[in-house]
């Protein structure tokens, strides 16, 4: 396992209190990455949604009823990445330079072992042949290749945009890109500015500050996979729900 600490650690901070479940991020992500639409009989467990908004209620009657929306995408785990260790033909790889967990559909054999291994269920399998409506072939985003049947696909932090930013920087003679030049489609599309994307390793970046803030929490932190997506909330029940997995060994709630 290449444990070299990457120069950059791209990550996201999602403010749950700002997210109102509009789903613009899901649509923007699917458009940016040429994610196809599955037939109607697919049901909710065979879709292709690289970022998936779960709605969670506090199960209370009016007037105390409250709802939180949790967009969950690949967390680009940095420590013992579950899916990298299991892929039999190295179709999954953590980029040492920026910590992005990649998934190469051309190398993927479709054994789906990584899907079983991922605790965040952030990996989606093409159960059907991806089909595009008649004539829309030339509307696809040229920066991302469409996948084929029988392979797994996942969020790669809009790497097509990372390429475009690299090209733009290179045309100005720079080989590294500036933080504001590269942003994911979901962060750009979110109407309420709930999603912030950036380099967690760069201490004075917006993402790093928010992630280090008191309100931040992570999903399944006790599993120790080192997710790089942080969530913010000031609502106690949301934090308790996220930490619903029983108390870790030392018995204190994980605050």
Partner 1 sequence: MGFSVKRRDFLGLVGGGAVGAALSPAPWKGLDDIAIWTQNWSWKPRLPRGPVEVAFTHCGLCHAGCGLKVRSVGGSPVGVHGVPGHPLSAGFVCALGLAGRYLSYHPSRIVEPTIVGADGQRRGIPFKAAVRQLGDWLDDTRSGGGHGSVAILDNRPGRMRSLAYRKWLGALDGAHIKGLREDTPINRLRAMLDGPAPELGLDIARARTVLSFGAPVLEGLGSGEAGSQLRGRSDSDKPYIVQIETRPSRTARGADLWLRIAPGTETVLALGLANVLVSEGLYDKEIIAQQALDLDGPGGYRELVARFSPKKVSRITGIDAATIKKVARRFASGPAVVIPGVDPGGGPLSAEAQTAAFSLSLLNGDVGRPGGVVARRASGTTQLPREGRLADTVELADVPDGSIRLLIADGVAGGFAIPTSLLERKLNPSEGRVVSLAPFERSALHGADLVIPSTTPFESIDEAGVPIDAPVDSMGLTVPSMRAPDYSVDSLRVLSMVAKSSVVPTITELLRGRSDRIHAGERGSVFDPSKGESVPLTEFKTNGDLWRALTSGGLWTDASATFSCPPFRLMGANAAIRDRLHRALEQPSTADGWAHEITLMPFGWRDASGDGPLPPVMAKLFRETRLRLDSRFATICPKTAGDLGFVEGDKASIKTSLGSITVEVVLDPAVVDGVVHVAVGPSTEAFGDASRGKGDQPLDLPSCENDACWRVIPAKMLEVVS
Partner 2 sequence: MILTRRRTTILFFIIGLVVAMLAGWIAVPAALYESIEQPLGFSHVVHSSDDVGMECDDCHHLTSEGGFAGIPQIAVCVDCHEEAIGTSKDELKLVEEYIKPGREIPWLVYARQPDNAFFPHVRHTKLAKIPCKQCHGDHGQTKTLRPLKRNRFTGYSRDIWGHDFSGITTSPPWSMKMSDCVDCHRKRGVRDSCLACHK
Partner 3 sequence: MIEPLTNRAPTRVFLTWIGFWIALFAIGGYFGMLCLSQGLHHTNMNNRFGFGIWIFLDLTVIALGAGAFFSAFLLYILKKQALKDVIGSAVVLGFICYSGAVVVLAIDVGQPLRAWFTFWHPNAHSMLAEVTFCLTLYLLVLAIEYVPLILKNPSLSKNVSLLIFEGQLHKVVVVFAGVGAVLSFFHQGSLGGLYGVMNGRPFAFREHFFIWPSTFFLFILSAIAAGPSFLILINKLASKITKKQLVRKEAYDFLGRISGWLLLAYVGLKSADTIVWINHTAPASGYSVSEFFKEASFGTWILFAEIVLFGLLPALVLINSRLRKRPSLMIVAPMLVCIGIAINRYVMTLQSQSLPTLPFEEFVLYTPSLVEIGVFGGMISYGVIVFSLSYRYLPLYPGLRQKAKT
229 by Cβ neighbours in 10 Å (0-12 / 13-18 / 19+) ranks as: buried
Nearest distance in Å: CB 51, partner 2: 18
Q: Using the rule CB under 8 A, is 215 a contact of partner 2? A: no
Q: Using the rule CB under 8 A, is 117 a contact of partner 1? A: no
Q: Using the rule CB under 8 A, is 154 a contact of partner 1? A: no
- At 127, list the tokens: 């159960």
- Contact pick of 6, 82, 119, 130 for partner 1 (by CB under 8 A): 130
- Contact pick of 36, 58, 166, 216 for partner 2 (by CB under 8 A): 166
Interaction with partner 2 in 113-152: which residues (CB under 8 A)?
A: 143-146
Nearest distance in Å: CB 86, partner 1: 21
Q: Considering CB distances under 5 to 8 angstroms, the limit depending on partner class, which of partner 1, partner 3, partner 2, none binds residue 61?
A: partner 1
Nearer to partner 1, 30 or 156 (CB): 30
Q: Considering CB distances under 5 to 8 angstroms, the limit depending on partner class, which of partner 3, partner 2, partner 1, none binds residue 219?
A: partner 3
Interaction with partner 3 in 32-71: which residues (CB under 8 A)?
A: 39, 42-43, 45-47, 54, 56, 70
Q: Using the rule CB under 8 A, is 177 a contact of partner 1? A: no
Interaction with partner 3 in 139-158: which residues (CB under 8 A)?
A: 148-152
Q: x/- site string to partner 2, residues 73 to 112, per CB under 8 A?
A: --------------------xxxxx--x-x-xxxx-----
With left for phi above 0 and alpha for psi between -120 and 50, is residue 233 left, alpha or beta? beta
- Contact pick of 6, 37, 117, 215 for partner 1 (by CB under 8 A): 37
Can you tell me the distance from the alpha carbon of 83 to that of 87, in angstroms, rounded to the nearest whole number? 6
Nearest distance in Å: CB 80, partner 1: 29
Q: Using the rule CB under 8 A, is 255 a contact of partner 1? A: no
What b/e string do you get for 122-143 counting C-beta neighbours within 10 Å, with b at 16 or more? Answer: bbbbbebebeeeeeeeeeeeeb
Interaction with partner 3 in 87-126: which residues (CB under 8 A)?
A: 87-91, 107-113, 115-121, 123-126
Question: Residue numbers of the site for partner 2 (CB under 8 A)?
Answer: 93-97, 100, 102, 104-107, 143-146, 156, 159-160, 162-164, 166-171, 173, 175
């Amino acid at each position: 396992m290449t444990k070299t600490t990457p120069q950059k650690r791209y990550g996201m901070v999602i403010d749950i209190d700002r997210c109102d479940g509009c789903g613009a991020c899901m649509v923007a992500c699917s458009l940016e990455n040429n994610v196809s639409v599955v037939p109607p009989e697919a049901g909710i467990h065979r879709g292709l949604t690289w970022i998936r908004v779960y709605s969670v209620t506090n199960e209370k009657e009016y007037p105390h009823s409250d709802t939180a929306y949790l967009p969950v995408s690949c967390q680009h785990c940095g420590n013992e990445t579950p899916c990298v260790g299991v892929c039999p033909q190295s179709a999954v790889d953590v980029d040492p330079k920026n910590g992005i967990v990649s998934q190469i559909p051309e190398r993927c054999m479709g054994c789906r072992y990584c899907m079983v291994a991922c605790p965040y269920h952030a990996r989606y399998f093409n159960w059907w042949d991806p089909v595009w409506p008649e004539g829309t072939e030339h509307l696809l985003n040229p920066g991302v290749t469409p996948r084929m049947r029988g392979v797994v696909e996942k969020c790669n932090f809009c790497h097509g945009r990372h390429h475009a930013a690299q090209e733009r920087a290179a045309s100005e003679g720079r080989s590294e890109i500036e933080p504001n030049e590269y942003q994911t489609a979901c962060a750009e599309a979110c109407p309420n500015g709930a999603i912030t994307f950036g380099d967690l390793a760069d201490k004075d970046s917006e993402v790093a500050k928010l992630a280090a803030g008191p309100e931040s929490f992570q999903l399944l932190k006790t599993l120790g996979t080192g997710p790089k997506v942080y969530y913010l909330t000031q609502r106690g029940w949301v934090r308790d729900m996220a930490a619903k997995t029983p108390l870790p060994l030392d018995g204190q709630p994980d605050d």
